[in-house]
Amino acid sequence: MGPGSTIVAVIAIIAFVIIRTNRDRYRAGIMQQPPIDPAYTASLEREVSDLRKRLEVLERIATDEGETRRLSREIESLRDR
């Protein structure tokens, strides 16, 4: 075995070890997920619900051929939330 093939063999072994170590770290990270906070999840669900309601109002405003007073009331109701 010459010096060139020895270097290639050492590089191949090092690459194998690095790949194997990274794979094991990745798998360990997937298995150990942080606990889910139910209060935070509930607050996010409420926020999404509120945003959906506001989006419905904005879609209605954009698609209706309404009068200016009604449009003003809709905008004011959004500001009050």
Determine the pLDDT at residue 15.
95
Q: Write the pLDDT tens digit of every residue in 5-56.
A: 889 899 999 999 999 988 888 877 766 667 788 999 999 999 999 999 999 8
Better pLDDT: 80 or 9: 9
Task: Give the distance, in angstroms, between the CA of residue 63 and the centroid of all CA atoms in the same chain.
Answer: 30
Exposure class string for 33-58: b at 16+ Cβ within 10 A, else e: eeeeeeeeeeeeeeeeeeeeeeeeee
Determine the pLDDT at residue 44.
95
Quickly tell me which residue has 């191949």 as its tokens.
12
**What span, in angstroms and rounded, lies between the C-alpha atoms of 60 and 12?**
63
**What span, in angstroms and rounded, lies between the C-alpha atoms of 77 and 26?**
49
pLDDT-based confidence at residue 81 (cuts at 50, 70, 90): confident
Domain ranges of the chain: 1-33, 36-81
pLDDT-based confidence at residue 66 (cuts at 50, 70, 90): low
